[in-house]
Chain A
Amino acid sequence: MNKTSISIALVLALSLTACIDDGEDGQQGADGAAGADGTDGVSVYVTRDDVVTSNANIAYAAYADSLISAQSMRDVLATFVAEPTESNFTAAKQAWLDSREPYGQTEVYRFRVGPIDALTTDEAGEYVLGEEGDGPEGRINAWPLGEALIDYVADTVDGDEGDGLSGSNIIADTTTYPIIDAATISDLFEYEGEEANVTTGYHAIEFLLWGQDLNADLTGTGTRDATAGQRTVSDFTNVSGECTSGSDIVADEICTRRGDYLLAAADVLIDDLTTVVEAWEPVTGFHYANFVAGGDTSLALIFEGMGRLSYGELAGERINIALTTDSQEDEHSCFSDNTHRDIFLNAKGVQNSFNASYTRIDGEVVEGASPYDLLVVEGEPELANNLRAALEATMAAATVIDTKAETGTPFDNLIQEGIAQENVVAVIQALDTQTGYIEDSIDALGITTNDLYQDTEEEF
């Protein structure tokens, strides 16, 4: 802290020196005396509180976009369920892909005891932040999905399997679940306390639209091909006698129930996203107000979210585990083969946070005071630049994954031995490097992320 204050004082002093009026007002043009070089290149003056406020404004914009696109998706899904044509099916899948674009960029707001992870209600029914895990994140985005609980599945995909109710699933079991609505699937989330029983969220909708990522021959064995899930529109048909579950003709009501499930999952998603958006609402949202007033604690949370998403979640669970196990079941968006976007967008979210810049789905750019600016102001221009460059390197590596996927080699192919694992490894290594600079920034700013939510321990 002392060091930082001294640096600011020095910078100010030097700036003042450079600004002493020479009385010439540059009238001599190029013939005048050369000015002194500036120090540390302070171009933008920001305070710590400014950075915190900008971070909160971007949080609201990104969550609001997520909610807007979830509602758009719900409309498209409703049209598809009412008129299950090929073109409406394609539109439904595109709407899901679109909805993932803003949401992926919100994930940098995870792992910091924010609304997404900790929003709950107190005894009076008021929204409060509880503990990590109390929030709606699991219902919104948990994976791997408990797909065998939801609908028919192939016995295995690559020898992998999900847990499920033995021999039954929610859509097929008309006796136990006569009605499929938001309450039905919410109640079954983490059924019997098992975290593997994920029945709601983006990935439930994804599974219902794509089905399991089998090969083109509809088997889950043999060499993995480049196709995504193969669900056909006949799984949703409203033509009597033509309803299918994969290659089997089944009762008409199964297709109806599948449509009910799709819309119920969209409804639950919208409800959950709404609570998060409201918590972040500028001025009026309870969390927005608390966060903006949180000073260095909030500043630490920004860096904590960046570091944890970069290292634990993205480099670790979402990429390294998939690479280690070479398993589609460990791939984030395994049904749609959209994992490359998850990776890209998560990394983008970290970069957004550092640059305090986010491009909304309507093209508007939300910008503000950035941690980059702050590091420069606080006398750490080199570190600011190193972290900026590291984030850029990560985005470059993630772009390669993104491009490979768009050109016929999806992430589930990239993780296979002997294909292009070095592209995947490059992203992990870039994330590792950027995490190191994020840690350095935490040290340089003298902000602590310790004991942020375990204050009871502080007494000892």
Chain B
Amino acid sequence: MCIITILIYDSVFQSMNKSVNLTSPTALVLTGFTFLCLFISGCGGGSGSNTPVVITDPDPQPELDHSGLTPIETDVIESSEYLAGGDVTTFKTDDGAFETTPSIIDDDFTDASLFVQGDHLFRTAHDDSGPLMNSSTCQSCHINDGRGEIPTDITEAFESTLVKIADSLGNEDPIYGDQIQTFGKQTTDTSFRNANLPVFGGSINGDELFGEAYTYVEYEEVSGSYPDSTTYSLRKPVYKTKDMSFGDFVDGVQFSVRMAPSVFGTGLLNAIPEDNILALVDEHDADSDGISGKASMVTHAITGETILGRFAYKAQTPSVLQQSAGAYRGDIGLTNSLFVEESCTDAQIACQTVAEQEGQMGEEYDVSIRELALVEFYTRVLGVPARRGYNTTTQTWDTEISQGRALFFEANCIGCHTPRHVTGEAAGSLLGEIPLIGDPDEAAEPIEALSNQTIYPYTDLLLHDMGGSCEVTRETDEGLSCSEGEECMYVQRCEGLADGLIQGLATGTEWKTPALWGIGLVQTVNADSTFLHDGRARTIEEAILWHGGEAQTSKDNYMQLDSTERAQLLAFLASL
């Protein structure tokens, strides 16, 4: 008992990575434990000696993990794991769980005000959206700040899911760009509500703008069974793209359907020191565990440096700022100081014509620097839900959850889903400090709430080969092969998780390990949402079963568990 307590003390002490403030509740509790231990020890034995117990470290130089901490243990859960987001942990468990102000932000009138203003911009429509776009507000993709959804009816266009495209080498389509925008506004006075859906060939002659193309999904149920004969069924998607308004796509086009992910916690992920992530890289699997881990190195849109990509499904974006600015431009058609061009390629005359009318409104960018900085701040400090299943009074975890966690660790799911990280100093916005009025004009101070935190996102932010392959064919609705014309759709079928799309350093089978924090609340926040990059998995269990490639062994480990153990592992994931 005493030894275990000391271990917890020791690891918590080290995880704090700073001097313990003796007036803090944590320190007081821990000090109490230590006294209790000493007291019990003093009473034990028969020697009559009152010499205090000297705690000797069996390993004077313990191996440290990528964060410089004592490696996380399978059986001992640090109490800090409950506060998954450190100081920006929040405690809502209803449909507002992902859009909650952390108290550390809320307690400061200035920060609270910036948060409220950013939130307002996040959920309301903006002047001058389009001409081409996927959605009208941040919130309409990130529903309740959580994940998007796939329409249940094929006649409903994707609004919170979009399709990335590229040729077989990863180059963008010379006409369509790198993304299919489903909606087109014919004039600057057209609302998103009345924007045009795609019409085959409708925008080729340049005088009328329609959305670029229409993608829908049909699922094939694929059944399988566990070694213990329990059966399951997975939805295998077939993606069909039709109504190409600007003509055919580039030869060898690949499609990648992406559901909008949750946005909370990204400020913390942004603040993990790059070296800590790079320490996890094992590109050629030198440790022979079947898991490589490749850094997605990308170009910073402001500084031009080559830095680690952390956001979006293939880690193609290095910062919350760049991700927000890119989404404004690419998904809503709002230019900003990072992405100054409207959402048209040079080849899209019908789009350029509308964009020119927009320019007459006078402002330099559709989204001002102040607005972008507010949305960046809001997104960065959005709170991470506290873990469920932890009793803060007794400081114990539900048995099912602690056992599920041990199984998750033993199955080596943590080979990619790295449980714990620490953040460094969270630099202030590159746009500058947001003043009371107007655009930022002074360098921004670091965001303390996000700095030097111990966090539990369960991701390594690296790229991994998840296996599978894709094939794109041209077919009619009846499944007949074709080569051109209105009836001739692009049909993509994939085995496994592959999307066939090369993005930056990521191949058509590689994906960034997504963070798992909050995964247990995804369908509480948006009951219609689903899992994985394209939302094909209806449940977390289905998402596990889709894993392949580098995750094959871990998935097999999971499948070998008996039904009780599988339920424990899922209970653990639901507690994240």
Chain A interfacial positions (CB closer than 8 Å to B): 131, 133, 144, 148, 155-156, 158-164, 166-167, 193-196, 220-221, 307-308, 310-313, 315-317, 320-321, 323-327, 329-330, 425, 428-429, 432, 435, 438-439, 449-451, 453-454, 456-460
Contacts and interface: CB of A to CB of B under 8 A. Distances in A.
A221 B91 CA distance: 44
Given A155-B190, A164-B193, A311-B110, 12 more contacts: A131-B92, A144-B124, A148-B191, A161-B191, A166-B193, A193-B95, A193-B144, A315-B436, A317-B113, A320-B117, A321-B121, A425-B437
Contact of B192 (A158, A161, A312, A458): A161
B480 to A, nearest CB: 32
Given A195-B144, A220-B189, A160 B437 contact: no
Interface in B67-92: 79-80, 82-83, 89-92
Contacts of A164: 193
B89 A196 contact: no
Contact of B123 (A160, A195, A429, A459): A195
B120 A317 contact: yes
7 residue pairs, one from A and one from B, having the closest CB atoms: A161-B191, A316-B113, A312-B113, A159-B127, A312-B116, A311-B109, A459-B392
Contacts of A220: 189
B188 interface: yes
Contacts of A315: 113, 436
13 contacts: A148-B193, A161-B193, A162-B193, A163-B140, A196-B124, A308-B112, A311-B113, A317-B116, A320-B436, A321-B117, A439-B109, A453-B103, A460-B26
Contacts of B103: 450-451, 453-454, 457
B228 interface: no
B114 interface: yes
Interface residues of B, number: 55
B119 to A, nearest CB: 8
Residue from A155, A308, A449, A460 whose CB has the most chain B CB atoms within 10 Å: A460
Residue from B95, B123, B124, B140 whose CB has the most chain A CB atoms within 10 Å: B124
B256 interface: no
Interface in B100-130: 103, 107, 109-110, 112-117, 120-121, 123-128
A449 B437 contact: no
A316 B193 contact: no
B238 interface: no
Given A148-B193, A325-B126, A460-B83, A193 B89 contact: no
Contact of A194 (B82, B143, B191, B395): B143
A324 B352 CA distance: 27
Nearest to A314: B113
B368 interface: yes
Nearest to B124: A144
A145 to B, nearest CB: 11
Contact of A449 (B80, B107, B188): B107
A439 to B, nearest CB: 6
Nearest to A155: B191
A432 B113 CA distance: 11
A62 B199 CA distance: 56
Contacts of A454: 90-91, 103
Contacts of B436: 315, 320, 428-429, 432
Contacts of B82: 460
Contacts of A133: 92, 96
Nearest to A315: B113
B109 A156 contact: no
A311 B371 CA distance: 17
A161 B136 contact: yes
A325 B374 CA distance: 12
B269 interface: no
B127 A160 contact: yes
B368 A324 contact: yes
Contacts of B126: 160, 325, 327
Interface string B433-446: 00011000000000
A435 B108 CA distance: 11
A160 B125 contact: yes
A194 B140 contact: yes
Nearest to B117: A316
A325 B372 CA distance: 11
Contacts of B139: 194-196
A163 B109 contact: no
Given A161-B192, A330-B124, A425-B437, A325 B371 contact: yes
B127 A163 contact: no
Interface in B129-162: 136-137, 139-140, 143-144
Nearest to A435: B109
Contacts of A432: 436
Given A457-B91, A460-B25, A320 B437 contact: yes
A321 B92 contact: no
A244 to B, nearest CB: 21
A316 to B, nearest CB: 4
A96 to B, nearest CB: 23
Nearest to B115: A312
A362 to B, nearest CB: 34
A312 B106 CA distance: 10
Given A161-B193, A308-B112, A456-B392, A325 B527 contact: no
Contact of B125 (A161, A311, A312, A428): A161
Interface string B273-297: 0000000000000000000000000
Nearest to B393: A459
A435 B490 CA distance: 59
B370 interface: yes
Contacts of A321: 117, 120-121
Contacts of A451: 103, 107
B365 to A, nearest CB: 13
B386 interface: yes
A148 B191 CA distance: 11
A213 to B, nearest CB: 15
A195 B125 CA distance: 13
B379 interface: no
A281 to B, nearest CB: 28
B15 interface: no
Interface string B361-401: 10000001011000000000000001000001101000000
B469 interface: no
Contact of A196 (B112, B137, B392, B395): B137
B117 A163 contact: no
Residue from A307, A323, A325, A457 whose CB has the most chain B CB atoms within 10 Å: A457
Contacts of B127: 158-160, 325-327
A382 B189 CA distance: 54
A435 B114 CA distance: 14
B194 interface: yes
B93 to A, nearest CB: 10
A323 B80 CA distance: 42
B575 interface: no
B386 A456 contact: yes
B114 A196 contact: no
B459 interface: no
A456 B143 CA distance: 27
Nearest to B371: A324
Contacts of A131: 92
Given A155-B191, A308-B112, A193 B143 contact: yes
A119 B436 CA distance: 33
Contacts of A221: 189
A316 B526 contact: no
A312 B89 CA distance: 21
A312 B112 contact: yes
A456 B361 CA distance: 50
B137 to A, nearest CB: 7
A163 B128 contact: no
Nearest to B87: A457
A160 B128 CA distance: 8
Given A156-B191, A159-B128, A193-B527, A316 B114 contact: yes
